[in-house]
Amino acid sequence: MDPRFVGHVHALRLGLTDPRFAVATVPGALTAQPEARAAVLGALRTAVAAVGAGVGTGSPVAPPGAEPAAEDHTVPGRLAAALDAEGTAVQRPELGSLTAAVPDGPEDRAAVRSAVAAVDDEAVRLRSAVKAHDGFFTTFFISPYSRYIARWCARRGFTPNQVTTASLITALIAAGSAATGTRGGYVAAGVLLLLSFVLDCTDGQLARYSLQYSTMGAWLDATFDRAKEYAYYAGLALGAARGGDDVWVLALGAMVLQACRHVVDFSFNEANHDAVSNTSPTAALSDKLDSVGWTVWLRRMIVLPIGERWAMIAVLTAVTTPRIVFYALLVGCALAACYTTAGRLLRSLTRKAQRTDRAAGALADLADSGPLAQAVAAVVRRPGGGFTAPLLALAGALVLVAAALFVPYGSWLTVGAAGVYAVVSGLAVSRPLKGALDWLVPPVFRAAEYCTVLVLAARSDVPHAVPAAFGLVSAVAYHHYDTVYRIRGGTGAPPQWLVRTIGGHEGRTLVVAVLAALLTGASAFTTALTALAAAVALVVLVESIRFWVSSSAPAVHDEGELA
C-alpha cells in the first residue's frame, strides 16, 4: 500500500478484504491471496526491472465497456499492471462515490480529503449491502430495516452463516407451530415465517456489508431457502391432518411446481449465459419496459418471488386454513410459471443465438441422465432438427405421466411406459443440447419424474404413501439444486459416480414404477418409498457436504433467485 493513500475506509475494504478474488486493487493499494502470491513476486521482479530500465509496465486494464483506466505509477499500480500483462486477473471493484487516490502534492491532497469528507462511506456501505435487484416486498418492507440488523450483527461479531442458521431454525419452529393444527399455532407460524425471511435477507446483507463470503456460506444460502419452504409445507400438511383434512397431495404438488419453476429459470439462464448474438425483439421490449419504473415492480411481483410468496403464505396461514394456503400457492405459482416460461419461449424463438459448448454441457448436467439414458445415448443418435430434443423429452414425459394417471394402479404397463421414457430421454440427450429450445429438456425431465412419483403415491391409497413421496422428491430436488449451484460456482456438476449411484431421473422413475407394481400391500409401498428417499438423501447429502466444506469449492455468496 502506498503511504500517501487517501480515501474511504470502505474503498479499502472493497479492494483488499474480499476473499472471492485472488488479486484485487484500488488506486494505491493491492492485495493477493496465498494462491496468487507467486504471481505477485513475479510481477514485482518485472516492475523493478521496468523501473530500472526507465520504462513503464503498462496501463491498468479497464473492465469491458468501461473507459480506459488512468495509469497508476504507484508501486501497487505497477504491480497490478504487470499482473495484467502476465495474464493474472486483477479485480478492480467499482467504487462509485467512494474515493481512493494517491495525491501528488498538498493541493491534490486537500482536494482528495475534501472529496472524502463529502461522502459518508458508512451510508454507502449500508446501501451496497442491499441486493441491487430484489422483489417489491423485500425492497420496501424488509430491506429498509434489515440492513441495520445486518450492521448490528456485524458489530457484535456474528457471521452470515450464524444468521443463516438462525433463519433455518426459526423456519423449522414455524413449521412445528403449523403442525399443531391450532389457530394459535397457525398465527405463530405466520409470524415466525416472516421473521425467518427477515433473517434470510439479513444474512446476505451481512455478507455484503462485512465482505464475509465463504464456501460454506454459499452452500447454506443456496439450499436453506428450499429446505425452509418445503419443511413449512410439511408442517402445514401435518397440521391439516390433525384437523382431519389430508392436504399432502397439495403440499407435494406445490413443491413440485415450485421446483419445476426454478429449473426453468436455471436452464434458460445457463443456456444463454454466454450465447453469441444473444438478442431478440422480446428482450428489446423488456429493456424498454424497464425504463418505466412501475412496470419493473409489476413484473417482479407477477413472478411471485420469495418475498411475496412467503408473505402470502404467512398471512394466509394466520387467517385461513392450510388447504386455502396450498390452493393460493398452486394458482399463484402456476400463473407465474406460465408468464415466465412464455417470455422465455418468445425470447428463444425470436433471437438468433449460437449456444456454446459450455452451455450445452451445463444443460446435459442439469438433465441428470443416469446409466440407462446414457447407454441409449451411446448407441443411438436422435434425428437432426432444432426442436427434436425438447419434443422427444416431452413425448416421453407425456407417455410416462399419462400411464401413471390412467393405467390401472399397479399395472406393469406403467413400468413399460417408464422403460419407454428411459429410452426416449436417452435419445433426447444423445446430441449436444444447442437448439433454440433445448433448455426445456431439463425442466421436462424434472416434471416427469416428480409428477410420476406424486401420481403413483396419490393413486396407491396406501397410508402415508404421499408423505413418503414428499420425502423422496425433497431428497431428489436437493440433488438437483446442488447441481445448479455447483455449476454456478464454476466447479462443474456432481461427479458421475453420484449420478450413477442414485440412478438418474429415468432410473429413479423406473424404480418407483416397479415398486408400485410389485408392492400393493398395506404399507409395503410406503416403506419402499421411505427407504428409497433415505438412501438418496444419505448419498447426496454426504457428497454435497464434503464438496461444499472442501477447499476446492469456490468462495462465493449466492444472492438468490427472485423466484
Per-residue pLDDT reduced to its tens digit, 180-221: 999 999 999 999 999 999 999 999 999 999 999 887 777 788
pLDDT at residue 497 tops 50? yes
Long-range contacts of 29-34 (CB under 8 A, 24+ apart): 29/1, 29/2, 29/5, 29/76, 29/100, 30/1, 30/76, 30/77, 30/79, 30/80, 30/90
Quick one: which of 486, 475, 453, 278 has its CA closest to 366? 486
- Where b means 16+ CB within 10 Å and e means fewer, 1-34 reads bbeebbbbebbbbbbbebeebbbbbbbbbbbbee
Instruction: Give the containing element (helix H, strand E) for 411.
Output: none
pLDDT at residue 244 tops 50? yes
SS3 content of the chain, % helix, strand, coil (to 5): 70, 5, 30
pTM of this structure = 0.90
- pLDDT given at position 488: 82
Confidence of residue 273 (pLDDT cuts 50, 70, 90): confident
Q: How far is 160 from 152, CA to CA, in rounded Å?
A: 12
- pLDDT given at position 291: 57
Per-residue pLDDT reduced to its tens digit, 435-457: 999 999 999 999 999 999 999 99
Dihedral sign computed on CA atoms, order 426, 431, 432, 433:
negative
Quick one: which of 414, 494, 484, 478 has its CA closest to 452? 414
Mean pLDDT, rounded, of the chain: 90
Per-residue pLDDT reduced to its tens digit, 449-488: 999 999 999 999 899 999 999 999 999 999 999 999 888 8
Q: How far is 480 from 301, CA to CA, in rounded Å?
A: 26
- pLDDT given at position 134: 86
Longest dimension (CA), the chain: 89
Per-residue pLDDT reduced to its tens digit, 385-413: 779 999 999 999 999 999 999 999 999 99
Q: What's the rounded mean pLDDT across residues 104-120?
A: 94
- pLDDT given at position 491: 81
